[in-house]
Chains A and B, each alone.
Chain A
Amino acid sequence: MDEGKKIRVLVAKPGLDGHDRGAKVVARALRDAGMEVIYTGLRQTPEQIVAAAIQEDVDVVAMSILSGAHNYLFPRVMQLLHERGVDDVLVVGGGIIPDEDIPGLKECGIAEVFTPGASTADTVKFIRENIKR
């Protein structure tokens, strides 16, 4: 990516889940690390998330789900991104996500899944090292 250009991140809450302590803490940590962060707020459909990612021209989409709906909603976002021809955006996820679900999520294009106990420093590092543009 261009030197000096700030990494732009969309922090998104897909589905009906209202737990956004983690999403907000991550949003603030990314901002403190020098990134530009847009937080969608609660109850976003996959369509809304993909539209926001395109409109805001973000480099990263970071999604958080604690309700157990990740196996449906994360792949749906990836499918819509693909359909819209967006393939240079790094997509990461977090939440209460059982280990056994992670390989399937990575297969559909989620680059990394952060589970309880992950540090925001690790998330910042991962984004910096894996950004696609």
Chain B
Amino acid sequence: MNQGDLKGEHGRWRSGPYAKVCARFPERKERFEGSSGIEVKPLYTPLDVEHIDYLNDLGFPGEYPYTRGVQPTMYRGRFWTMRQYAGFATAEESNRRYKYLLEQGQTGLSVAFDLPTQIGYDSDHELSAGEVGKVGVAIDSLADMETLFDGIPLDKVSTSMTINAPASMLLAMYIAVAEKQGVSADKLNGTIQNDILKEYAARGTYIFPPKPSMRLITNIFEYCSTAVPRWNTISISGYHIREAGATAVQEVAFTLADGIAYVKAAVDAGLDVDDFAPRLSFFFNAHNDLLEEVAKFRAARRLWARIMRDRFGARDPKSMQLRFHTQTAGCTLTAQQPDNNIVRVTLQALAAVLGGTQSLHTNSRDEALALPSQDSVRIALRTQQIIAYESGVADGVDPLAGSYYIEALTDQIERAAADYIRRIDEIGGAPAAIERGFIQAEIEESAYRYQMEIESGDRTIVGLNDFQIEEARPSGLLKVDPAVGDLQCRKLAELRAERDNAAVEASLAALGRAAEGSDNLMPYILDAVRAYATLGEMCGVLRGVFGEYKPTVAY
């Protein structure tokens, strides 16, 4: 049948059988739409994908534009890395949780740091009071890092660290721990998040102003390209942008706009795009709308490939491949009937796998209530294992490709995100758009709309605004011992008494002088780390030279 016949037949069905049923039994809503306001039509046919050119727009897995995945065999070769984000209290306790997760079949580590560590304060700083060891593990110096990875061979695991403003210090500590294990830096696998732009826009753990922050980031790109060549030097993150309220389209657009800013900064600093771009990685959210999410991942891959080839002139195929980690959406978890969250997480994880993720964290059912308990974390990991080993979805590459609906939606999301990126370009790029509050305002608007949809009942959240029950609040939640703060402070006092303080002072002074000049700071930071300078001391020196970021509050 040709397209003309199909058009006619589609029109006949639409105004005939379909309209007749709608007249007798109206549909549930007047308009169906996804998170980004893209209308969902009742039916998708070849007419919706007739403009798509298979070779140009989809291609083959492992080939440009990577719509169908970044590797030729995808999960037929090896499953995605099952990587549960974990860390709390002291390095000793977190080390025990890591060993437990590795015993249970987890294949990579993901370190959560507490807020003082993420913001470059030692545990005994006055602003750290009440926060030590709460949302992650407290790391004050190399000594804590040695404990954190005690008995875990760093040449055998890959480790992702959610650390941004002080990323260079934590990477240096990881390299120094590996040295002590006899593992050279060129054998290390892992990722630092190192994405400061989304901290300004959505996550909040910034320290320095944008310009010196971008220097620290490009210093890491340059240093790792030769010294730690297998390390992912950044994880450009849409996750937190989505958690802050963004839609699927906004998540793709703002993340890739941040990516463009990092590539531009490194190129402007004199690096060759193909020397660092292969080590860029991404981090996305997997939200509730299964098909929209699958289309989102595919659209992001295609759009990034085109940006890297056409805008930045990348030649190495690896520079064009958008490799990404996924975490299921924390903001969708409910405190009500928390076991239902296992089902939400399953659907979200399925979207990530159908979308071709390289690694995955599945949230635990109790995370709207507290940090996850060990039992909840095990169920979350088992969810991934059931998808991998039992569901069969990992056996074919990009299995939803060719669905009229998925391909049409992939295309719409790519176009809408490209439009947003054009608007951001007109403002002067992501840093300027963040400085003006444009990106924050767009996210806030979406967050407010979502909340109002829930409160008006337009959006049903099972167990929250419908299907409620009377229930006792769950027990067995994880509680971090408040004594952790005191314990960390005692460890710090001992460290300061025992280390060679003259060597510490000398290394910190050298770091300060280097920061005032234009040298790559990584070697200076490594020297200070090896001398057991604390994170707060190193960040203190850089605060003195660079100053601190002060956000312009939009209210």
Residues of A within 8 A of B (CB): 15-21, 24-25, 27-29, 37-43, 45, 67-69, 71-73, 76, 96, 98-99, 115-117, 119-121
Contact = CB atoms under 8 A, between A and B. Distances in A.
B135 A27 contact: no
B473 A99 contact: yes
A16 B116 contact: yes
A15 B204 contact: no
Contact of A116 (B115, B134, B245, B334): B334
A18 B204 CA distance: 4
B119 interface: yes
A28 B371 contact: no
B116 A71 contact: no
Given A41-B551, A96-B368, A120-B455, A68 B334 contact: no
A65 to B, nearest CB: 9
Contact of A39 (B121, B135, B455, B553): B553
A28 B448 contact: yes
Contacts of B203: 18
Nearest to B468: A117
A128 B131 CA distance: 32
A39 B555 contact: yes
A68 B135 contact: yes
Contact of A25 (B119, B333, B336, B448): B448
A116 B444 CA distance: 18
A116 B245 CA distance: 15
B115 A17 contact: yes
State the majority secondary structure of interface residues on B. loop
Chain B contact residues (Cβ within 8 angstroms of A): what range?
35 or more
B244 A21 contact: yes
Interface in B525-550: none
Given A117-B335, A119-B455, 16 more contacts: A15-B115, A16-B128, A17-B135, A18-B204, A19-B243, A21-B447, A24-B444, A39-B553, A39-B555, A40-B553, A69-B130, A69-B134, A96-B368, A116-B368, A117-B368, A117-B464
Nearest to B477: A98
A121 B455 CA distance: 8
B370 A67 contact: no
Nearest to A31: B555
B104 interface: no
A16 B455 contact: no
B337 to A, nearest CB: 10
B480 interface: yes
State the majority secondary structure of interface residues on A. loop
Contacts, number: 101
A55 to B, nearest CB: 15
22 contacts: A16-B119, A17-B204, A18-B205, A21-B331, A24-B448, A24-B555, A25-B245, A25-B447, A28-B444, A28-B448, A38-B555, A42-B204, A42-B551, A43-B204, A68-B135, A69-B130, A72-B129, A96-B369, A96-B370, A98-B479, A116-B333, A116-B368
Contact of A19 (B127, B204, B473, B480): B204
Contacts of A73: 130
A102 to B, nearest CB: 10
B131 A15 contact: yes
Nearest to A70: B130
B334 A41 contact: no
Q: Which 10 pairs of residues, A with B, have the shortest CB-CB distance?
A: A18-B204, A72-B130, A69-B130, A39-B555, A16-B115, A68-B134, A116-B335, A41-B553, A116-B368, A99-B473
B451 interface: yes
Nearest to A115: B335
A79 B444 CA distance: 32
Contacts of A40: 553
A115 B130 CA distance: 20
A64 B115 CA distance: 16
Interface in B431-489: 444, 447-448, 451, 454-455, 464, 473, 477, 479-480, 482
A120 B116 CA distance: 31
B339 interface: no
Interface string B192-218: 000000010001110000000000000
Contacts of B115: 15-17, 67
Nearest to B463: A117
Contacts of A42: 204, 551
A38, A68, A76: most-surrounded residue (chain B CB, <10 A): A68
A98 B368 CA distance: 10
Nearest to A99: B473
A117 B204 contact: no
A75 B233 CA distance: 41
A15, A21, A27, A115: most-surrounded residue (chain B CB, <10 A): A21
A19, A27, A76: most-surrounded residue (chain B CB, <10 A): A19
Given A68-B135, A72-B129, A120-B455, A24 B447 contact: yes
A28 B116 CA distance: 29
Contacts of B134: 67-69
Contact of A21 (B116, B245, B479, B553): B245
Given A16-B115, A67-B134, A71-B482, A45 B127 contact: yes
Contacts of B244: 20-21
Contacts of A99: 473
Interface in B229-265: 243-245
